[in-house]
Structure 1
Amino acid sequence: MADTPNGELKKLTIFAHKAPDCSDAAIGSFEAYVNPNEITLAYEVEYDAAQGSGTTGSRMNFKKMKPGDLSLTFFLDGTGANGKKIDVQKKIEEFQTITMYNGDIHRTNYLKVCWGTLTVKKCVLKNASIAYKMFRADGVPMRAIITASFIDTADDKTRVAMAQDQSPDLTHKRVFKAGDKLPTLCNEIYGDPRYYLRVAEANGLDDFRNIAPGTQIFFPPLEK
């Protein structure tokens, strides 16, 4: 792993919080012994498959963004071969304390994963496995690999706001500006300009062609 420009090696760190948005002071942290060689970010988008009568294909209507997953693998070495000797079991217990159940909040800790230029990931532990690779004669573990998956959680408000801004199944309000046309706005929100008559009716507009700038237009949810 290359050093940073100032020669200081930054370690991936997981900070534990009690507040869902991680706005409070961290109650602890886990620093990687060796930075991971690979970080996997997985995203999932949920759609409703709407198929018109008499058609063979389906139109994938956006429904919502699901929480994303972050997968990490931590290598722990207690032999000193990497220049730093650690207590492997103690490091594993440190990871478990930071990421797992917290009796004070009656659930797992809320986490922030930070490293370099990566966007700070606010998440909770989804699952983890520990593979012990080497033992001393007395059974003390000398090497281990922690494979962990985290799921997005603290950005729920942001994801909901994004969904509400984009989904045609939720209510929208727009302030009509000079140059705006109702069919064009319907096309932006619903993906179909033909809904302009329904929007005009919902807003009590007698003439959709002459809407005064500054008028607030209500775009109702589409009926399934």
Structure 2
Amino acid sequence: MIGLPGKVVSDVTNVLGLVTGNAKATLVAESGAGWPVVFSVNPSEVSLKKKNSTEGNRAVVTHSFQDALKGTSNIRLELSGAQVLGAVTTQKAVDQLIAWATPVRISTAAALELGSYTAAEKLAGDMVARADRARGRTAGTGGTAEVATKNPVKEMGAGPVFYRLPVLLFSWGIAGPMGRNAKVALESVKVKYKRFDEFGVPVWASFDLTLVEYTAPKPFTNPTSGGVPGRTRHVVCQGENVVQIANRAYGSPHAWRRIAEENGLDDPLRVRPGRSLALPPANENPEGQRR
């Protein structure tokens, strides 16, 4: 089943378990990469936890919905005593779970798409700021600046990378504690080898796992601030104009027209500092698409 989408592998495994009347807890990579982990013995204990930050005893999280998103955590599922049996399947399950608990590298552009908006945007902004400072210093000495920042995301492609845990699908029969094909990340795994064969090959292992609910953010939004999907705002700083803002937000200076139309601006080069501008979603702005 390697190479098939993770949902297909998970569904097939669940159907086989239901047909035999013995549904098994299963973990599969959403991408379909790697091997599915089907536990021979289901967990003996399951704990589900969700935490909110409240103000005293009033059960008030916050007065702002955006801050409320920051004050609530994703569901955590702790599985204890899940077991795998077999000379081949035991070690393969151990290796696969360890791999899933290890962050994988993703590009900066992918980090923007997958939710690390704050970190990626900060890095892009830092690059632009350095370029602006370089231009300013060069202009002050009477020289010419040769710094290009047309597309900060592209420029970051050869620079630092970001990491994230693989997204997994967790199922256990028809529903299970989080529903069928729940998207999770493997936060921690503890393996206890129970038995080895005469050659020293593990044939029985017990697992304690902590799974964290994975919620995919909308593209080009800031999951940390909880902004409205597809919409962001930018406060104009001293010396900024709409052309510069468009270049930094979308990677193209030509996107200034869409920002100007969205905010009713007559002159994109003259915007009052401190004004808050609405930035349209990139997928609604053909000229400002990230490339």
TM-score by length of 1: 0.50
- Structure showing the higher strand proportion among its residues: 1
- Structure showing the higher helix proportion among its residues: 2
TM-score by length of 2: 0.40
